[in-house]
Amino acid sequence: MKERRWLEGLVGDTHALAAARIAFGVLLLLQTREMAMEQLDQGYFGNHFHWAYVPERFVPSERVYTLLLAAQAVCAVLVIVGHLARPALFFSGAATGYELLCDRLHFHHNRWALACYVILLSFTPCDRARALGASKTTATGDLWAVRLVQLQVSIVYVASGSSKLFDRDWRSGQVMLDRMVRYGHQAVEHGVPEGVIAFFQQPSVASLLSKGAIGTELFLAFALLSERLRIPAIFVGLCFHGAIELSARVELFSFTTFAAYLLFATPDARARTLRYDPTRKKAVALAWAVRLLDWLARFEVAPWEPDAVAKGRSFVVTDRDGKPRTGVRAVMTLLRGVPLLFPIWCVLLPLRGVRSEP
C-alpha cells in the first residue's frame, strides 16, 4: 500500500515535464543524427561483423534501418514541438532499444539510459504545457510516472557505482589513471591547465578520484530521492558530470542526466513572483531574461504598481512563503529558481551567508 501511494500521490503542474520533454527531444535528434553519421561513415552495420542480442532474422535490412532512423528523426521533432509527443517518445525509446539489441558492438550505456527515460516519460502528461495545441488553462496532471523516471535515474547511479565498486581495477584507480592519460589532452583543449592534468595523472591521485567517483554515484543514487538532500545532490551531480565532460568522452550521457534532473523539480508553477519597475531599462531587461530562462515556469513576471515595498527599487521578488524580498535576497531567489543559474546560487549561498527556504 505504501508503494502505491508513492506512485499515485503526486498531482501537479507539468511545465517541468514540458522542459524535460523538449530537452529529451533535442537529445533524441542529436542521437539519431549521430547514428546516421555512423552509417554514412562506416556503412550499414549489418553488412559488417556485428553481434546481436536478438536472433539474426530480427536484425533489420539496410533499407528498413534507414527508414527507422528517418522515423526517429521525425519523432524527435514531434517531441520537441509537443505534437503527438507521448507516442513519439515511446516509439523513439523502443526503436533505440531495438537498435541496440541488434548489435552489442554499438551498445552505449548513455543510449540505453536515454531509451529508458523517454519510454517512462511517455507515460507522463508532458504534452500539456509548451506544446502545439496544449490547453492554456489546464497544465496540471497526474505525475505518478515521474516517480518512475526519478527511480530510473537512481538505478543508473546504483548500477554504475556498484559495478565500479566491485571492479578491482576501478577501485585501485587503474581505470581512472588510464582515462586521465588517454583523454587528458581533451581537458587541455577545453581550457584546463596542463599542470592540473599532470597532477591528476598521478597514480595516488587517480586512486583517490576513483574512490570519490564511486562514492559520489552511490550518494546521488539515494540522495536524489530524498527531499532533504535533493538540492545538494543536484549540485553535486552537476559538478560531477561537468568534470566527466572535461575528462572523458561519454557522448550524450551527462546531458541526458541533466535533462532527467529537471524531473526532480517541485511542480509548483508561478509559486514565485517578480515585480519590476517598467520605467527602468535594467529592470525590464531582468524581467525579459527571467521570462526567457524560466523553463519551469516558477515565476509570475509582471510590472508593478509602486507601493511601500517597491518604492525606490527596480524589482521585488516574492518566494513561495509569500514574503517579499529585495536586494541580495531577491537576487538569490531568482538564481535558485532559474535552472541555468541554479549552480551560481549553490556557490554563492555559503559565501554570502544567505539562507533560503526549501
Quote the mean pLDDT of the chain.
87
- Non-local (6+) Cβ contacts of 121 within 8 A are 17, 20, 21, 24, 89, 145, 149, 263
Among 142, 174, 199, identify where a domain stops: 142
| 178 and 233 together in one domain | yes
In a domain? residue 314 = yes
| 231 and 276 together in one domain | no
The three cell numbers of residue 255 are 546531458
**Most confidently predicted of 6-10, 135-139, 157-161:** 157-161
In a domain? residue 9 = no
| 102 and 29 together in one domain | yes
Instruction: Say what the pLDDT of residue 2 is.
Output: 42
User: In the predicted model, is pLDDT for residue 258 greater than 80?
Assistant: yes
Residue 95's pLDDT band (cuts 50, 70, 90): very high
| 319 and 219 together in one domain | no
| 249 and 332 together in one domain | no
What is the domain-level CATH number for residue 332? 3.40.30.10
Question: Mean pLDDT over residues 231-253, rounded?
Answer: 85
The percentage of residues in the chain with a pLDDT greater than 70, rounded to a whole number, is 91
Question: Mean pLDDT over residues 65-75, rounded?
Answer: 96
Instruction: Say what the pLDDT of residue 150 is.
Output: 95
| 68 and 168 together in one domain | no
Which of 69-78, 154-163, 244-253, 289-298 shows the lowest mean pLDDT across its residues?
A: 244-253
Contact 128, 140 (CB under 8 A): yes
In a domain? residue 154 = no
Among 264, 296, 329, identify where a domain stops: 264
| 121 and 197 together in one domain | no
In a domain? residue 151 = no
In a domain? residue 152 = no
| 50 and 166 together in one domain | no
Pairwise pLDDT comparison (334 vs 109), residue with the higher score: 334
User: In the predicted model, is pLDDT for residue 249 greater than 90?
Assistant: no
Question: Mean pLDDT over residues 103-127, rounded?
Answer: 91
| 84 and 177 together in one domain | no
H or E element: which one contains 212?
helix 203-223
Instruction: Say what the pLDDT of residue 272 is.
Output: 93
Domain count, the chain: 3
| 276 and 260 together in one domain | no
Question: Mean pLDDT over residues 169-195, rounded?
Answer: 81
Instruction: Say what the pLDDT of residue 312 is.
Output: 67
CB neighbours of residue 332 within 10 Å: 21
In a domain? residue 7 = no
User: In the predicted model, is pLDDT for residue 357 greater than 50?
Assistant: no
| 225 and 295 together in one domain | no
Pairwise pLDDT comparison (204 vs 245), residue with the higher score: 204
Instruction: Say what the pLDDT of residue 308 is.
Output: 56
Among 264, 288, 316, identify where a domain stops: 264
Containing domain of residue 181, as a range? 160-264
Residue 356's pLDDT band (cuts 50, 70, 90): very low
In a domain? residue 256 = yes
Question: Mean pLDDT over residues 323-330, rounded?
Answer: 88
Residue 354's pLDDT band (cuts 50, 70, 90): very low
| 45 and 133 together in one domain | yes
In a domain? residue 2 = no
User: In the predicted model, is pLDDT for residue 1 greater than 60?
Assistant: no
DSSP state of 128: S
Q: Are strands 140-142 and 11-13 parallel, antiparallel or unpaired?
A: antiparallel
Question: Mean pLDDT over residues 222-240, rounded?
Answer: 93
CA distances from 151 to 6, 7, 44, 223 (A): 11, 11, 35, 11
